[in-house]
Chains A and B, each alone.
Chain A
Amino acid sequence: MSGKEHLDLEDLLRAAELSGATLELRTDSTRGRGRMVVMDGKLLYANLSGEQPEVGREAVDAMLAADTNVSVAPVSGAIARNIDPDDSVEPAQSSPPLEPAPQEPDMSENPFQAVVDRLKNSVPGAMATGIFSIRDGLMLAVNSSVPDTNMDAMSGSHVRIVDQMNKFVGYLPERISGRLQSSVLVLEDATFYMAMDEEGDFALMIACEAGKGSLGFMRLMARKQMGLVRELMTA
């Protein structure tokens, strides 16, 4: 990935809200380190440590105001809610602890399937997600709500598309060509994003409804899963 797809905290919070996601945001800024927990799209907890620690809505405001680096993680353990849905801050001590975060998908049967399921659930407006092997042209897993999805046809066409894109790169002058990393196809009704593995072994695909999943968010979510898929491929 290029590293230029910087997502700010506000974008992430909005995307999480739109998608009804459950996730944890970890922040790092000149104001200190912070943690936010979003459950089912609702921001319920925020905490900022540092010289001027803050909790609840004040912590959110401080993190939004600072130039904040942010990473996304699964919710770790139970939290004490300190932000209520009406935005009024409740003391953490007075709120009952929430239930632990939903369990991660079962990785025991088809671990690739768990990855694409998670990816589809995390990207707003996602219609299909998939992982396919570039080398042997096989779809490793797919989760699609596109009518009449045929996995064999899908894997064949995706591999051909990657092949065409590699030819594109091959024709370009060497000093500007480089290694293919990702492609985005924007249609009137849908956006298709594909991220290629560094070794050229596999690719992750996300198709989502036009105007719903921001490109930056799709990239972020795909990048999060790339390392895991690489581990599964080499296991």
Chain B
Amino acid sequence: MALQDVLEDIRREIDDCYFAVCFEMESGLPLGIATRDFADDTDSIASAFGQVLDIISRGQKRGRNDTIREALHGFNEMILETDKSTFFILTPSRGESVAVAVGTPIEVKLGYAKVSITRHLDALRREIKALG
């Protein structure tokens, strides 16, 4: 099963999921994206996640507080909420330089989205490893 297929499975499992995307943490470059309604917006979605992941990678390298800088290396997940949507980002494994994110309408329960991604973590890890 290719990474794209795993992402597609995640997207389908979460009601009204806008997209499921996998990207490289440092550069924000997307490795795969599954979307039904936002196929024309993949560049802007990738740019958006590039911005937000910069918070983590820059903080890990240049954070002024030693405790916080060290803590950022243990990044597990991030949730961003707007009045329309929820965006959920997580790293499949400790020390991975790859993250997975989904976007959903605000009505979708956060726990449900997380469970859906978690269910596919083994497959995600496998496919990410295969990418080298």
Closest Cβ–Cβ distance, residue B55 to chain A (whole Å): 5
How distant is the Cα of A189 from the Cα of B77 in the complex, in angstroms?
A: 12
Chain B residues lying within 8 Å of A175, measured Cβ to Cβ, are: 84
How distant is the Cα of A171 from the Cα of B72 in the complex, in angstroms?
A: 24
Decide if B38 touches A178 in the complex (CB within 8 Å): no
Q: Assuming the A-B contacts A157-B63, A178-B84, A187-B75, are A4 and B52 also in contact, with contact meaning beta carbons closer than 8 angstroms in the complex?
A: no
Closest Cβ–Cβ distance, residue B108 to chain A (whole Å): 9
How distant is the Cα of A6 from the Cα of B111 in the complex, in angstroms?
A: 12
Does residue B78 face the partner (Cβ distance < 8 Å to A)? yes
Chain A residues lying within 8 Å of B81, measured Cβ to Cβ, are: 2, 180-183
Q: Which one of A36-44, A79-87, A89-97, A144-152 is at the B interface?
A: A144-152
Chain B residues lying within 8 Å of A135, measured Cβ to Cβ, are: none
Decide if A146 touches B82 in the complex (CB within 8 Å): no
Chain B residues lying within 8 Å of A149, measured Cβ to Cβ, are: 65
Decide if B38 touches A177 in the complex (CB within 8 Å): no
Closest Cβ–Cβ distance, residue B56 to chain A (whole Å): 8
Which of B68, B74, B84 lies in contact with A177, CB distance below 8 A? B84
Chain B residues lying within 8 Å of A170, measured Cβ to Cβ, are: 48
How distant is the Cα of A17 from the Cα of B38 in the complex, in angstroms?
A: 46
Q: Mark A139-179, 1 if CB is under 8 A from B, else 0.
A: 00000001111100110010011001101111111011111
Within 8 A of B (CB), among A160-219: 160-161, 164-165, 167-173, 175-190
Chain A residues lying within 8 Å of B55, measured Cβ to Cβ, are: 160-161, 164-165
Residue of B nearest to A3 (CB): B106
Q: Assuming the A-B contacts A186-B76, A187-B72, are A2 and B47 also in contact, with contact meaning beta carbons closer than 8 angstroms in the complex?
A: no
Chain A residues lying within 8 Å of B72, measured Cβ to Cβ, are: 187
Decide if B65 touches A177 in the complex (CB within 8 Å): no
Which of A172, A179, A181 lies in contact with B44, CB distance below 8 A? A172
Decide if A148 touches B52 in the complex (CB within 8 Å): no
Decide if B82 touches A181 in the complex (CB within 8 Å): yes
Closest Cβ–Cβ distance, residue A124 to chain B (whole Å): 19
How distant is the Cα of A83 from the Cα of B76 in the complex, in angstroms?
A: 41
Decide if B65 touches A150 in the complex (CB within 8 Å): yes
Closest Cβ–Cβ distance, residue A5 to chain B (whole Å): 8
Closest Cβ–Cβ distance, residue A170 to chain B (whole Å): 8
How distant is the Cα of A170 from the Cα of B85 in the complex, in angstroms?
A: 13
Does residue B109 face the partner (Cβ distance < 8 Å to A)? yes
Does residue B30 face the partner (Cβ distance < 8 Å to A)? no
Decide if A186 touches B83 in the complex (CB within 8 Å): no
Decide if A2 touches B106 in the complex (CB within 8 Å): yes
Decide if B84 touches A189 in the complex (CB within 8 Å): no
Q: Mark B53-64, 1 if CB is under 8 A from A, else 0.
A: 011100100011
Interface residues of chain B, those whose CB is within 8 Å of chain A, are 18, 38, 41, 44-45, 47-49, 51-52, 54-56, 59, 63-68, 71-72, 74-87, 94, 103, 105-107, 109-110
Extra A-B contacts (18), CB below 8 Å, given A146-B65, A165-B80, A178-B82: A148-B66, A154-B65, A157-B59, A157-B63, A160-B55, A170-B48, A173-B41, A177-B82, A177-B84, A178-B84, A181-B83, A182-B80, A183-B79, A184-B78, A185-B75, A187-B75, A189-B71, A190-B71
Interface residues of chain A, those whose CB is within 8 Å of chain B, are 2, 4, 146-150, 153-154, 157, 160-161, 164-165, 167-173, 175-190
10 contacts between A and B (CB under 8 A): A4-B110, A146-B68, A173-B38, A175-B84, A179-B82, A181-B81, A183-B80, A184-B78, A185-B78, A188-B76
